[in-house]
Amino acid sequence: MMMNRRTILKTGGIAALALATPAVLRAQGAEFRYRLGHPYPEDLPVHSRAKEAAEKIRNETGGRVEIGVYGNSALGGDTQMISQVRSGALQFYSGAGVIVSSFVPLAAISGVGFAFKDYPTIWSALDGSLGDHVRRAFASAGLHALDKCWDTGFRQTSSSTRAITKPEDFKGFKIRVPVSRAYTSLFEALGASPTSVNLAEVYSALQTKIVEGQENSIAVFSAAKFYEVQKFLSLTNHMWDGSWLLANGRAWEALPEDIRAIVATNFNEAAVLQRQDSEARNAQYRAQLGELSIQVNEVEAAPFKQVLRDAGYYQQWAERYGADAWSSLEEYAGKLA
């Protein structure tokens, strides 16, 4: 449990003001008691692997470090958790790059529309020079990004009104997107009408027809039961995005060097396992789609990419990210702008 200065003073625990860094609770048992929040459903590997890593960290540090893992937006929506991890009220946050790009713009570069064709290309980029660019950007913002990015899957488009088979189908389409300019700019360039809604509120927005559709990985689509309020699922693969595990910089530096190594090793190993889990889970869900009362269709990417080029979408983001970062992206994705 976290205690602020006012609470400590009220309870007479003035001695407990030996909190040298924000959001660190030194109590009986654990010397460092931290929290990790994320927005994803708790039956997804991003949650189970993070909990496994936290348990290993507790054991390998002899109980000095306890990290509670809270999924399904239990600590607030993405916007709230990002604010908390920046201030130090939350020590770890796991969220999509395009979401955290609200304060670290470069984090969204892996989510450029139709950039990546497969997972080998993605992991080469994120574990390589492109990922280095992003990690340095996080560090400049006072956050420590763990070395390995987690997988949230290629994103698909669902709808209650029509299948998306060609670019024209997006014209005027009311689609929910995460709270990020990376998403709104993509769908605006495709002619859609995007509305930003936090993940925890998407089911209700679909059910009440505030939006016609949404876009997410197949795993999230299935785990969140969006198929209950949608009729069509178009396998657009319009974007891939990963979930960065971020630590508040001061909370991270408060950990002794040997403990930081244990935390980093276990979370990075968990990320690699989660990547494998996620890819398998998405393939499994895709195979099961036929059992649901939803129409599924494949989509050819080339026409959509051409619309984006014509709309100046790629050029816009190339200018925003800068020549070095964009060159690194195209090293893996091929020529886009």
Per the listing, tokens 């299935």 go with 222
Point out the residues of the chain with pLDDT beneath 50.
1-27
For 242-261, the pLDDT digits (tens) are 999 999 999 999 999 999 99
CATH of the domain at 266: 3.40.190.170
State how far the Cα of 195 lies from the Cα of 276, in Å rounded to an integer.
32
Any domain includes 174: yes
337 occurs within a structural domain: no
Q: What is the pLDDT of residues 143-174, one digit of tens each?
A: 999 999 999 889 999 999 999 999 999 999 99
210 dihedral zone (left: phi>0; alpha: psi -120 to 50; beta): alpha
For the record, the structure tokens of 77 come out as 């929506």
Which residues touch 201 (CB under 8 Å, ≥6 apart)? 77
Count up the domains in the chain and report the number. Answer: 1
Answer yes or no: is 185 within a domain.
yes
Q: Which domain holds residue 221?
A: 5-331
The answer as to whether 336 is a domain residue is: no
Q: What are residue 249's phi and psi, to 5 degrees?
A: -60, -40
